[in-house]
């Protein structure tokens, strides 16, 4: 398996695994089939409440296990502590934080302040841990660009869809927004949608996609719902 210098580097493609009542069994079904849809899949992002059994399924499929967490009505310092505790319990790799809940316009400071507080708590005990900020599209203006530039282990990934996936956005435009606001190219990636538009249609992969060589895909449940996983 060809891998880049780190989980958020080139030649690394991730997939979010959505929690359910029996995540290990779902992963046993999904992961062996997922490479038929995403051939160069390397990394699986698990929820904080994942079990060791779920992580073991990821490793048994020769993929790397990481964690994601979601900012809703939770203090950023507390969320960072919970993410670190889950990582210690599971022995997983990087942490990705979905900041959609902290990124509502026009409250520009909210996203940057939340990100700063989250990263500060991570860095208090884990100075070299790879962390990625997962943000809605076109939020480059509200990111803590100085922190992203100064922290060698901090990355950004922008969603190429809106929250309800009613429409697929231009991945190139979403990426360019990050670059235009000063995110270094080596630290900027795209979070691809599995389905978009109404009625929902499968868009990853498709005739309009070149093979994905970096970034991440949302999510394993949509792969199942789309019916595109091999039997």
Domain of 70, CATH number, reads: 3.20.20.150
The alpha carbon dihedral of 45, 51, 55, 60 has a sign of negative
Residue 110 lies in a domain: yes
| 155-171 residue pLDDT tens | 999 999 887 676 778 88
In 9-77, where do the E strands start and end?
12-16, 43-46, 64-70
CB atoms under 10 Å from CB of 199, counted, come to 5
Residue 217 lies in a domain: yes
Which stretch, 33-42, 71-80, 119-128, 186-195, has highest mean pLDDT? 119-128
pLDDT at 1: 42
The alpha carbon dihedral of 115, 156, 121, 79 has a sign of positive
Residue 174 lies in a domain: yes
68: pLDDT strictly greater than 90: yes
- Which has the closest alpha carbon to 114: 69, 150, 164? 69
pLDDT at 225: 80
51: pLDDT strictly greater than 50: yes
Boundaries of domain holding 194: 12-225
Residue 6 lies in a domain: no
pLDDT at 199: 53
| 102-149 residue pLDDT tens | 755 455 558 899 999 999 999 999 999 999 999 999 999 999 999 999
10 token code pair: 């080139």
Residue 152 lies in a domain: yes
Percent of the chain with pLDDT over 90: 64
Tally of domains in the chain: 1
The pair phi, psi for residue 189, each rounded to 5°, is -140, 175
Residue 107 lies in a domain: yes
DSSP 3-state assignment of 141? helix
Report d(CA 140, CA 136) in Å as an integer.
9
pTM of the model: 0.92
- Which has the closest alpha carbon to 28: 51, 67, 54, 66? 54
96: pLDDT strictly greater than 60: yes
**Which residue has tokens 């499968």?**
202
197 token code pair: 């538009």
pLDDT at 101: 77
pLDDT at 2: 45
Residue 1 lies in a domain: no
201: pLDDT strictly greater than 80: no
**Average pLDDT, stretch 94-105?**
81
pLDDT at 105: 46
The helix (run of H) or strand (run of E) holding residue 36 is helix 23-37
Residue 2 lies in a domain: no
């Amino acid at each position: 398996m060809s891998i880049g210098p780190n989980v958020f580097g080139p030649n690394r493609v991730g997939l979010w695994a959505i929690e359910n009542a029996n995540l290990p069994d779902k992963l046993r079904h999904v992961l062996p089939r997922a490479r038929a849809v995403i051939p160069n899949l390397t990394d699986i992002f698990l929820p904080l409440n994942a079990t060791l059994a779920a992580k073991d399924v990821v490793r048994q499929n020769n993929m790397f296990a990481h964690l994601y967490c979601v900012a809703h009505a939770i203090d950023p310092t507390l969320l960072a502590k919970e993410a670190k505790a889950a990582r210690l319990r599971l022995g997983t790799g990087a942490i990705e934080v979905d900041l959609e809940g902290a990124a509502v316009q026009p409250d520009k400071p909210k996203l940057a302040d939340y990100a700063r507080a989250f990263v500060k708590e991570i860095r208090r005990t884990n100075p070299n841990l790879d962390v990625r900020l997962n943000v809605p599209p076109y939020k480059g203006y509200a990111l803590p660009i100085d922190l992203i530039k100064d922290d060698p282990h901090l990355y950004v990934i922008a969603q190429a869809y809106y929250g309800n996936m009613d429409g697929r956005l231009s991945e190139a435009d979403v990426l360019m927004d990050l670059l235009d606001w000063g995110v270094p190219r080596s630290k900027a990636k795209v979070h691809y949608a599995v389905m978009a538009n109404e009625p929902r249609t499968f868009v990853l992969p498709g005739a309009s996609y070149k093979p994905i060589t970096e970034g991440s895909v949302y999510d394993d449940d949509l792969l199942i719902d789309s019916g595109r996983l091999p039997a």
